[in-house]
Structure 1
Amino acid sequence: MSASERSSSLTVLARLGFSELARAEGLLSELESEAGISRDAVLAGTAIAADPDEALAGLTRITRRDASAVRALQADRRGWQAMWALLGASTGFADFYLRHPDELAHLAGAGDTLPTGDELRASLLDAVRAEDGFAVDGGEAAWVQLRVRYRRLLGRIAAYDLLSASPVDVVDAVAARLADAAGAALEASLCIARTRVSSGAAGAGLFPRDQVAATQLAIIGMGKTGARELNYVSDVDVIFVAGADESASETMSESRVVDIATRLAVQTMRGITSIEIEPPLWEVDANLRPEGKQGALVRTLDSHMSYYGRWAKSWEFQALLKARPIAGDAALGDAYVLAVQPKIWTSAARENFVDSVQRMRERVTEHIPRDEMLYQLKLGPGGIRDVEFTVQLLQLVHGLSDDRIRQRGTLDALNALAAEGYIGRAEAAAFSHDYRVLRLLEHRVQLRNLRRTHLMPSRPEELRVLARSSRLADTGERVWSEWEAVKREVRDIHVRLFYRPLLSAVAALPAEERSLSAAQAHDRLAAIGFTDPAGALRHIAALTTGLSRKATIQRHLMPVMIRWFADGVDPDYGLLTFRRLSERLGDTPWFLRMLRDSSGAAESLTRVLSGSRYIGELMEWIPESAAWLDDPPSLRPRSGVALQEEARAIQTRHTTIEDAMRSVRALRRRELLRTAMAAIIGTVTIEEVADSLTTITEVTIQATLRAVRRLVVPPEDAALDFSVIAMGRFGGGELGFGSDADVMYVYRPNGLDPQRAHELSTQLVAGLRKYSEDHRVPLDLDADLRPEGRNGPIARSLDAYAEYYRRWSLSWEAQALLRGRGVAGSVKLIRAFTELADDVRYPASVDRQGIREIKRIKARVENERLPQGADPARHLKLGPGSLSDVEWLVQLLQLEHARNVPGMRTTSTMGALRAATDAGLVSANDADRLAEAWRLASRLRSANTLLSGQTSDLLPSDRKRLDGIGRLLEYAPRSATQVEEDYLGTTRRSRRVFEKLFYG
């Protein structure tokens, strides 16, 4: 071949989808020269293959072993296409045909139709030469014959699937035939088992043949097998039921029957799953039986029913929804299914039934390995299991009173639910399509190696093969995008299916026109997360009943809003607060217009109300704040200058301090609410939240001090200077929701009698405390960081501070001053105090004894200040690696180095840490770990307060509350475990850095 011909040939190969062009060229030449298979025939076949490289390599290996089998199949056009489709989609089938090249002949004509269930059963029974329920041969060779024949039939099913014009449309038919094939394989294996356990047979013979023949064993398919929606390689869930025919019922004891049936069940399973020359087919899983792995493998029908009547759990009845006889004694299998049906459909009436089903779904999600979550087709959010759980839950909720929706299959059940009006046809159609897409992807990833898996591939080349074999997209990137879109829609529809019919249960409609009764609506609300469905129904009725414009608008909106509430952290509280808010605002035009015309604002309203009691309580007092949700600039924190101007204007308007301070408190509440709403909506960062809360607190203290000074200090004493010094997180500009405001008070007499100055300053402090008090949103002015702590005077003169720090100051007091910052009162006095503080907190020389004392105090704080019984690892402030560790470490570095590193002379913890990093005192990696822990602990503290409306420094252990906190931090629903693991992991890493740098 000339260079130009070779180049042209490689170009053709590239167009056909080959990646390894030189290798492909060599294999093509080998097939043509050594096996006599024309190049054109091969290239025509590779056009069908999802992975041309693997298909060509597989065919070459098979040809090396038996070229005649390949050449013979070439004469059958459809069989030739089927072979290429199989080899291109499945290395597992390439291995099968390499082991058994003669099986290629059975692909002739494949792909046009699916084998019927009867054909599958007849073929597999023929493979083991079954007669009257016994196989002619009970040895291992019979198992091999069974498995080879099964894979022959599986190849024909897969060929039909891969060659279909629209594989997504035949998913249900393919899955049904796979289930039929599994049932037929179990039937054939049971025939071998009967032969093996009969006395006189080679192998495991134990019982007389007539007793084995008289023993009935019904194999009940569960899960996907029972529903006839099986995968290519999946566990086949079964339950075994034993019995005896009438002729043997008097001569064989029940224990004898169960012994024989158990031996039959064990051998039947071995025929499918044991390690032989031909690999196992799939796992036979009998763990759905009564008592699971701990229970007897085989029971009689009466024993099963006794268990279900006395001890079975809710999830067991949910599993039985799919039960179907698939092999063995058909009459016994039918009797079993008939007997369990009433128990399945009454299980939904059990107390906490829906909650138990949902918890089971959560546990499935929680056990997904973290590195698999992104790729999970079956168990992850928006995956196959979400569809199945949703449909089954709807069936169990409504199937008690409506037998028309008692279907085994997911798609059949969806159709029935839509036909009977329990869900909308549009939602059912979308859910059905999404389910088919997910199942098609699952089928293709299992076909690839004929192995059980539910993970999307991660490598680009494997995604490309998946795209071609599924025909869902033309590139790997697009098939991934298609999958992501399906997941999003599944998560959305999961809840939407429940809502639209709810209103009919509370609307003033004749009973015959209601799509749901009140009881059915109650069950549905419970199913989507409302803990007080009866209360929710009352709120919905109150909001939508009547002829007013408001009721009309809310009738249109309520189905969607219920869905949004259900997506929230606390649906019941959200709906209750919305009702109260709606009643407060009445027929206010802007409110109704916002709900009707701005879906974004309405959704945001449900989100903040169901996500935060802190916000809900404030919005009841400030209902007009709902308008901010329709005006993004209104959700930005206001500047300190703007707030100061408003506060001064308030004090100008009001003549009494009580009236003025009432308005200042209202200003503070309003701005706290604005910041809280912005935090939950996600329009501000944690740094912006801290800055806003600090500014609001500063403005409140400044306004209060101005008002109190006019009341307390007479004109003749006006020379008195008085200032408030912010300390702790307040001084650092790092306040969170629920944080105390740590302060110190300083005064300067300026010629006044010292005793008079002290009395006036004490009165100013008392007035500040009194008039800043707010029972609705407390503002705690905490002065415990002053010299001598609680034992020291509440206010000191500047000279007294100077004298104290010069003569008696302790190391922790210098440390506390690191975040001291003047926020209210005399500017000159603040400047003077700052100069004094700088000499103490940024010493010219390091006091090593003082540094050792700080380390000793830190160790004591860890042991003594934690609340009794609290888990240290969960304490957001004092726990290892949390706020306290980071702040003490940064402050220690400031005491040692701030005199020489100007950037560290700041009250900001993160600012000082950045400066220390820039100065080389902390490595960038260590600084990142400290900052990550500090920010996460800060966010969790604020989220805890926003969620509950109460301040707590403990990461809750209650899963529901922890999940709510996670939702506020933008975790996915039901991420309590992830929130916990993230916090504990982050603080562990932070603690290691702290111990190295603080104590090292």
Structure 2
Amino acid sequence: MSVPQGRRSSPSTQLLRRGFTDPAAADTLLDAPDLVAVRSDPVLLDALGMTADPDLALRSLVRLIEALSVGDEVRAASGEEVRPETQVLLETLVAAKPLRDRLLGVLGASEALGDHLARHPGDWQAMATFDAAADLHPDLGDFETCLGDAADPDSLRIAYRRCLLGIAARDLCGTTDLPATAAELADLATATLRAALRIAEAAAPEDADRCRLAVIGMGKCGGHELNYVSDVDVIFVAEAADGAPEDEALQAATRLASHLMRICSDNTAEGTIWPVDANLRPEGRNGPLVRTLASHLAYYQRWAKTWEFQALLKARPVAGDARLGREYIDAVHPLVWQAAERENFVSDVQQMRRRVVDNIPAAQVDRELKLGPGGLRDVEFAVQLLQLVHGRADASLRSGSTLDALSALAAGGYVGRADAGALDDAYRFLRSMEHHIQLYRMRRTHLVPEDEADLRRLGRSLAGLYGWDRRAEPVAELRRAWKRYAREVRRLHEKLFYRPLLDAAAQLEPGEVRLSPRAAGQRLEALGYMDPSAALRHIEALASGVTRKAAIQRTLLPVLLGWFADSADPDAGLLNFRKVSDALGKTPWYLRLLRDEGAAAENLARVLSAGRLAPDLLLRAPEAVALLGDPEGLRPRGRDHLEQEILAAVGRADTPEQAVVAARGVRRRELFRTAAADLIRAYGTEERPADQEPGEAVDLIGGAVSDINAATVAGALRAAVRAQWGDELPTRFAVIGMGRFGGHELGYGSDADVLFVHEPREGVGEQEASRAAFAVANEIRRLLQLPTADPPLLVDADLRPEGKTGPLVRTLSSYAAYYRRWSLVWEFQALLRAAPVAGDRELGERFVELIDPLRYPENGLKDDSVREIRRLKARMEAERLPRGADPQTHTKLGRGGLSDVEWTVQLLQMNHAHAEPGLRTTRTRPALAVARECGLIGAEEAGILDEAWVLASRVRNAVMLVRGRPGDTFPTEGRELAAVGRYLGYEPGHIGDMLDDYRRITRRARGVIEDLFYGG
């Protein structure tokens, strides 16, 4: 704001601009004689204005100057000839910017430290101690020196606060970052515990002589990442000194430990240091305060809970007998790194975190920096869980510091660099918030304040670290940053903490975590790998070296090998994994996906080891791996969506051949999506409704494959038309699906039975239209039969009138004339499955209108027609079953197989659909369900037929998935048969049960068919 010429802004206005919220009170304070130098120096006023709370900084500075003035008066009265401390302070503030920033920064951020300086004004010089660059970061020795002269509890408390002044000053000025500040606080706590123990020992030297006492730092103190105000968690371990009885030694150690705790925890006129909390000891507050090392070990080996090992991750000796402390750590640390092998370890840790959140009072959950969702505990628990699972084999992860461990997890490939960086940034911000909240009154809290003045001070204290404008909107900036970081923490916590790979990795035997060649070969053979030497070569190729890719593979492989071993062909699973990894080796997202995203790794392992079809599809388009990590990735896409995508791809192609290649690419991806979802559901690794029956899965697959093939045929039709006629064919053209295609029941290896129908456009001669339609139909078939490594899509038009000898394409009127004069009853039966699948929709609907009266005759079938259908069925059973095929296990033509069930249902449809509209469907299972509801078939009989039809369909799909080519009988090769069994839910060694069950189910179905179809 500009000031009019000739006028000067008032002192209060100047102070307001500098950030004071009560400029009138500040103006009054600055009128004091001792503050003339401050009022007259704009540099000092600006420095006050840059603090977190200029009003607080000025008030505290006034109190400090007043306290120094009293000391100056006392010295003057005693005749001492020394420079007044007040003058030294003010001159130093003017001349020394580092000290000015430190002192005023502390005074503006911490009322409690201002109170300390008012009581001990000479301690302001502690902030000038570390001016030299080499001394900016004091170590444990510096703090021990600082506290070394403390001979009683109060002098220790005063010395502790004096040291704290320097830490806070460097923190608030940005001289030290968050990890360095937390480490300094932990070192100061360590030095304080040592000094307190010395005081306790001096008070009871006879107790000190009877025992060796070690103090083990736990929690943030042990992890070298302490807060300003925090309980200091410890565990006490003791042994008898030479010649002392153990019980007397433990009593002496307990007295020393109790005295140490009182020295640190008691509140006097000099305040308190911090509470010492020993509740992390065995049995908690109900257990003895001090134990021997042997007693500690006995407890941890027999009784300790999962969380106690998690707590020990940060344990380190901090005071007392150093040798005993090291012996304790050496003894318990192996137990820490075995904790992940405990039953339900991962779920126990996850449940513990959920309990912490559930116990937060509802009114506080949104203010919780530490315990709430998106808080510090989310970071710490995720990091600790990853450490405990993977640190068994990787010693680089065994750090008590959260940020150091997070960095090691990123370096080792256990966490993505971007995720680790985001967590690191968020953790630093949230801990800095927590620190600065605690600094104000030196109280233990991790709740974000609600008062606007407190938020303003907090926002301004962080502004310099995060580049905010202190004088603009510090509260708004603080809230935005806090919510942003909290959301990111919660997202990454959910991603890492509930990663399925963790639970699987935790269940590995210790020797499996790292694969030594000899042990790995023996383990692979025991797991069922037929060629362990080849498997080892694959492992070596994938995991050797020092690259990040190899590091991630070393994390993944032990778990994947177990999943492969759970299949019928582990060797094929590992080989396929190597092929996919080689194909995607330079793709940055691939291994990250397997490590981080949901059940992607397990899904991939199941897919790669379950047969040939899905791996073959994936190896031709490896990028489809991404589908396995997307929660929606395995859901089938609707026909309209697929057709739109394929038609767009065809439209971009230059030639019909290129167009069909593009269409096939979409088909390949979608077949993989469907096959992968099918295999994963069969293994139970994908969440699905608890009541989903195998029949529903069959319906889902049949519908998905039918939609995929329909969209592909539509793409081939568009390509065929564009090649010669551009945008519009001279005749309207439709493709009618027949058989399982029209019934929306295609399997992976089914042919696409079709009819072609056309209708000349207005003004186009019938011969021209017929030539165009014939050319398009032939071109569709040619394009779809071009050689490819993909599963073939054979378009079969043999169900057309007159079969192979009849015209490939007919007009609608020609179909009507043929069906009216020449058709046989089996052709009407075939029309029960007819449904438009591609081309002109209106023409397709008119074809359906034409055939409905034929396939659903008004009065049902005449007796001779029923006899003819039965005769044709019997002839088919006798003549069309392949030579050598077992009629008891042939899924299509065998006893109680697909043909038996479908012909029975179709007979019911042709007899009753004129009266029961629900039977007018091209789909077998819905028609059977309606027949049951209408009383045309008993509920038990309908259930028997449905079970047989579903089982036969699943076996056909399984054969295609396993062998990569269609088949109507069970495989004869052992591994293929076992893989079919695994798909159907049979455990290894139960193949005989599978075949027996198939024969039993289809035998019962045949009995129903004998009654219903053949009339008993």
Q: State the distance in 1 between where 2:466 and 2:578 align.
A: 49
Distance 2:746 2:733 in 1: 7
Q: Deviations over 1:316-364 (max 9, x none)?
A: 2222121111112222212211221222223233333333333333333
Whether contact under 8 Å (1:619, 1:625) holds in the other structure is: no
Which residue does the alignment assign to 1:846?
none
1:265 is the counterpart of 2:257: yes
1:308 aligns with 2:324: no
Q: Select the residue among 117, 124, 133 that pairs with 1:97.
A: 117
Structure 1 residue 305: Cα displacement:
1.4
- The answer on whether the counterparts of 1:218 and 1:333 sit within 8 Å (CA) in structure 2 is yes
Partner of residue 350 from structure 2, selected from 352, 355, 358: 358
* Shift in CA distance, 510/548, structure 1 to aligned 2, threshold 3 Å: closer
2:291 aligned with 1:285: no
Q: Is the 8 A contact 1:242 1:298 kept in 2?
A: yes
Structure 2 partner of 1:76: 92
* Pair 1:161-2:160 in alignment: no
Closer/same/farther in 2, CA of residues 394 and 424 from structure 1, 3 Å limit: same
Once the two structures are TM-superposed, the CA of residue 159 in structure 1 deviates from its matched residue by: 0.7
Assess, with a 3 A threshold, how the Cα gap between structure 1 residues 654 and 397 changes in structure 2: closer, same or farther.
Answer: closer
Shift in CA distance, 7/575, structure 1 to aligned 2, threshold 3 Å: farther
Contact 2:214 2:322 in 1 (8 A): yes
> CA separation of 1:769/1:562 partners in 2, compared to 1, >3 Å: closer, same or farther?
farther
> 2:146 is matched with which residue?
123
Q: 1:385 to 1:421 in 2, by over 3 A?
A: same
Change (3 A) 1:460 1:328: same
Q: Residue 480 of structure 1 corresponds to which residue in structure 2?
A: 479
Cα distance, 1:521 vs structure 2: 2.8
Report how far residue 160 of structure 1 moved.
1.3
Where do 1:611-626 residues align within 5 Å? 612-613=688-689, 620-623=701-704
2:179 to 153, 168, 172: 172
Counterpart of 1:19?
21
Within 5 Å, give how 1:905-916 maps onto structure 2: none
C-alpha distance after superposition, 1:687-746 (max 9, x if no partner): xxxxxxxxxxxxxxxx99x9799848649xxxxxxxxxxxxxxxxxxxxxxxxxxxxxxx
1:914 paired residue number: none
CA distance in 1 between counterparts of 2:700 and 2:131 reads 64
Partner amino acid, structure 2, of 1:173 = A
From the superposition, tell whether residues 179 and 616 of structure 1 become closer, same or farther in structure 2 (CA, over 3 Å): farther
Any conservation in 2 of the 1:220–1:238 contact (CA below 8 Å)?
A: yes
Q: Is the 8 A contact 1:536 1:575 kept in 2?
A: no
Report SS of the residue matched to 1:242: strand
Aligned to 2:839: none
Contact 2:857 2:914 in 1 (8 A): yes
> CA 1:660/1:24 → structure 2, altered by over 3 Å: closer, same or farther?
same
Q: Report whether the alignment pairs 1:60 with 2:62.
A: yes
Give the whole-Å Cα distance in 1 for the aligned partners of 2:417 and 2:569.
Answer: 24
Match of 2:671?
A: none
Say if 2:393 is the partner of 1:394: no
CA contact (8 A) 2:261 2:276 kept: yes
1:313 positional shift: 2.3
Answer yes or no: is the 8 Å Cα contact 1:35–1:67 preserved in 2: no
**Deviation for aligned residue 1:157:** 0.9
Which sections of structure 2, spanning at least 5 residues, go unmatched? 71-84, 469-473, 506-512, 516-535, 637-676, 678-685, 712-731, 749-847, 861-909, 935-1016
Q: Report the residue type matching 1:237 in the other structure.
A: D
> Retained in 2: the 8 A contact 1:345–1:396?
yes
Mark the CA change 1:653 to 1:776 in structure 2 (over 3 Å): closer, same or farther.
closer
Structure 1 residues 547, 44: closer, same or farther in 2, change over 3 A? closer
Aligned equivalents of 2:392, 2:615: Cα separation in 1: 41
Change (3 A) 1:653 1:341: closer
Query: 1:443/1:659 Cα in 2 relative to 1: closer, same or farther (>3 Å)?
Result: closer
- Alpha-carbon deviations, 1:537-569, whole Å to 9, x = none? 979956953658996499765434435641x7x
Cα distance in 1 for residues equivalent to 2:69 and 2:706: 80
Note if contact 1:463-1:477 (Cα within 8 Å) is conserved in structure 2.
no
| Equivalences for residues 200-211 of structure 1 within 5 A | 209-211=205-207
Cα 1:710–1:277 change in 2 (3 A) is same
Aligned residues of 1:221 and 1:324 also touching (Cα < 8 A): yes
Correspondence 1:512 to 2:554: no
TM-score, normalised with respect to structure 1: 0.55
The one-letter code of the counterpart of 1:74 is L
Residue type of the alignment partner of 2:156: L
| Contact 2:237–2:292 (CA under 8 A) maintained in structure 1 | yes
Match of 2:247 among 243, 255, 276: 255
- How does the TM-score come out when normalised to structure 2? 0.54
Which whole-Å CA distance do the structure 2 matches of 1:538 and 1:67 have between them?
A: 84
The alpha carbon displacement at 1:606 in A equals 6.0
1:469 maps to 2:461: yes
Contact 1:348-1:396 within 8 A present in 2 as well:
yes
In the alignment, what sits opposite 1:644? none
Output the CA distance in 1 between the equivalents of 2:257 and 2:156.
Answer: 17
CA deviation after TM superposition for structure 1 residue 282, in Å: 1.8
Residue of structure 2 in register with 1:28 after alignment: 30
In the alignment, is residue 328 of structure 1 matched against residue 330 of structure 2? no
Partner of 1:147: 157
Shift of 1:623: 4.4
Kindly indicate whether residue 246 of structure 2 is the aligned counterpart of residue 218 of structure 1: no
Q: 1:624 to 1:124 in 2, by over 3 A?
A: farther
Deviation digits for residues 213-272 of structure 1 (CA, Å, limit 9, x no counterpart): 3322211001111121111111211001122322xxx2x321211112112212211111
- 2:775 is matched with which residue? none
Q: Is the 8 A contact 1:32 1:39 kept in 2?
A: no
- Paired residues of 1:217 and 1:242 also in contact (CA < 8 A): yes
Q: 1:533 to 1:70 in 2, by over 3 A?
A: farther
**Any residues of structure 2 matched to 1:738-749 within 5 Å, and which?**
none
Q: Which residue of the other structure, out of 230, 240, 243, is the alignment partner of 2:236?
A: 240
Q: Compare 488-497 and 408-417 and name the one that shifted more.
A: 488-497
**Match for residue 768 of structure 1?**
918
**Structure 1 pair 776/221, CA: closer, same or farther in 2 (3 Å)?**
farther
The one-letter code sitting in structure 1 at the alignment partner of 2:480 is S
The offset of 1:422, in angstroms, is 5.0
Q: Deviations over 1:48-78 (max 9, x none)?
A: 4122122223333444555456554223234
Alpha-carbon displacement from aligned partner over 1:391-444 (angstroms, at most 9, x marks no partner):
333332333234344333233334444555655666555544443333223222
| Identical amino acids, percent of aligned pairs | 35
User: How far apart, CA to CA, are the structure 1 residues paired with 2:435 and 2:342?
Assistant: 36
- Residues 426 and 710 (structure 1 numbering): CA distance in 2 closer, same or farther, change over 3 Å? closer
Range that drifts further, 85-94 or 375-384: 375-384
Residues 237 and 773 (structure 1), Cα distance of their counterparts in 2 relative to 1, 3 Å cut: farther
CA distance in 2, matches of 1:587, 1:544: 11
Indicate conservation of the 8 Å contact 2:215/2:236, yes or no. yes
Deviation at 1:463, TM superposition (A): 4.0
Residue 233 of structure 2: SS of its match in structure 1?
strand
Paired residues, number: 651
Contact 1:217–1:243 (CA under 8 A) maintained in structure 2: yes
CA contact (8 A) 2:211 2:241 kept: yes
Letter in 2 for 1:605: G
Find the aligned partners of 1:520 and 1:448 in 2 and give their Cα distance.
45
Provide the rounded CA distance (Å) in 2 between the counterparts of 1:549 and 1:268.
58
The separation in 2 between residues aligned to 1:56 and 1:355, in whole angstroms, is: 53
Q: Counterparts of 1:560 and 1:605 in 2: how far apart (Å)?
A: 17
- Kindly provide the amino acid, as one letter, of the partner of residue 24 in structure 1: A
Distance in 1 (alpha carbons) for counterparts of 2:315 and 2:557: 28
SS at match of 1:7: coil
Contact 1:651/1:660 (<8 A) preserved: no
Contact map agreement 1:373 1:380 (CA 8 A) in 2: yes
Q: Deviations over 1:814-845 (max 9, x none)?
A: xxxxxxxxxxxxxxxxxxxxxxxxxxxxxxxx
Q: Which residue of 2 aligns with 1:191?
A: 198
**Per-residue Cα deviation, 1:581-609 (whole angstroms, up to 9, x for no partner):** 994596499x949848x999957416997
CA contact (8 A) 2:745 2:923 kept: no
The CA distance in 2 between the partners of 1:654 and 1:123, in whole Å, is 89
